[in-house]
Amino acid sequence: MAEPLQGRTVLVGISGGIACYKACELVRALRQAGATVPVVMTRGAREFVAPLTLQTLSGRPVATETFDLTQESEIGHIRLADTADVVVIAPATANVIAKLAHGIADDLLTTVLLATRAPVLVAPAMNVHMWEHPATRENVATLAGRGVRIVGPAVGSLACGYEGAGRLAEIPDIVEGIVTALTPQDLAGERVLVSAGPTREAIDPVRYLTNHSSGKMGYAIARVARRRGAEVTLVSGPVALPPPPGVRTIPVESAREMAAALRSEFPRATLLVMAAAVADYRAARPAERKVKKSSSHLALELARNEDIISGLAAAKRDRVVVGFAAETHDLVTEARRKLREKRLDLVVANDVTAEGAGFGSDTNVVRLIDAAGGDEVLPVLPKDEVAARILDWFVQRRQGAARRRPAPVTRRVAGARAARRRSRRGPRPSP
């Protein structure tokens, strides 16, 4: 799978604020992701960062003036607007947000914004009081109503000395917003519930039982589903991963906590993907104090944890439930058993001993086996691509179900009545 920004043109507009220096990091990140990155700077932005810096990072001349003779020999603002796959303004000041909301085009950046038909993403950065001002809030709401994507602002210490909302969103969050703007929204309207990571089962206040799951596969599914327009909730065991942007994340520790969170969220979901590696057993009686060394052996009594996915699948109705079968041997046999016994719609089978499929790996090797008899073997793929293939299966299933769905009762009744009227009238005479 190619990088989502490979070969795409991302026009970066920079308006005048102290966060301009972070735009340099954004341009660098986009170039590293394979994008072509033309840059437009306002006069205010050039007070903070020299155009030569952005030209060096982007590898392209920086556009600055509407009436530059060299740029306007090609009607530069139209060329910039037409060639962009997506436009991002970072940082976006209160001033440029107001201009965009009211259709003002008095410099090169705002002229390009008025002329482009590409998706537009705005990353605000300003003083907290400016961000909270009713005029700014109304302007942002106006842009959102027109389909402009808003990323941030983040909350924290501001350059002006205040604390609060107004920081430029983190660069990975902005990049993720750009990728989302370029991704077909074929999961819009779906509510995807994903579990990820390991669970920890306490032995005492210091020790616990767990496994090697990194959570990367589940996080990839949540991230890609969000990119494709779904409303995503991620129930995550303890991992060393940042929450995916735009995803509601519920942190849990134990299998019992994960079960409770999933039961609470499942009624709203249209798709459950159970990618978590839930511990099968827990300590029957966790010690309240640290267990001390007292002999050469220690016997630990374990109790069975509930089978979360089986309980949820039993009550799924029209929901789709996807499970994982991480095995070390008898992969297909075990996967088919889980598919059947747990009443799943799809099982994602992977041999964790296979090259490219180990715990913590950025790639995976899986086999998609579904209840309708489908069986697809995938090669070694990045986990984002594996996530995309799982979600493709879901989209195809939904489309197939829509084609098979009978017409509404009112339409069927009306059709039957019309047929009866035609039969009473007899055949129509030939012309």
Dihedral sign for Cα atoms in the order 240, 244, 250, 255: negative
d(CA 202, CA 191): 32
Using a 10 angstrom Cβ sphere, with 0-12 exposed, 13-18 middle and 19 or more buried, the burial of residue 37 is buried
Residue 160 a catalytic site member? yes
Phi, psi angles (nearest 5°) of residue 25:
-65, -35
Question: Active site residue: 75, 144, 155, 160, which one?
Answer: 160
- Residue 72's alpha-carbon distances to 11, 52, 63, 80, 90, in angstroms, are 17, 20, 10, 11, 24
* Cα dihedral: 179, 181, 182, 184 (round 10): 110
- The radius of gyration computed from the CA coordinates of the chain, to the nearest angstrom, equals 27
DSSP 12: E
DSSP 47: G
d(CA 31, CA 180): 17
In the structure encoding, which two tokens stand for residue 416, read together?
């039957």
The secondary structure of 238-283 as a DSSP string is S-SSPPPTT-EEEE--SHHHHHHHHHHHGGG-SEEEE--B--SEEE
Q: Does residue 84 contact residue 11 with C-beta atoms inside 8 Å?
A: yes
Tokens 């090259």, residue located = 355
Short-list 147, 157, 131, 168, CA closest to 14: 168
In the structure encoding, which two tokens stand for residue 225, read together?
């589903």
How many CB atoms are located within 10 Å of the residue 146 CB? 10
The secondary structure of 325-373 as a DSSP string is EEESS-HHHHHHHHHHHTT-SEEEEEETTSTT-STT-SEE--EEEETTS
List residues with catalytic annotation.
160
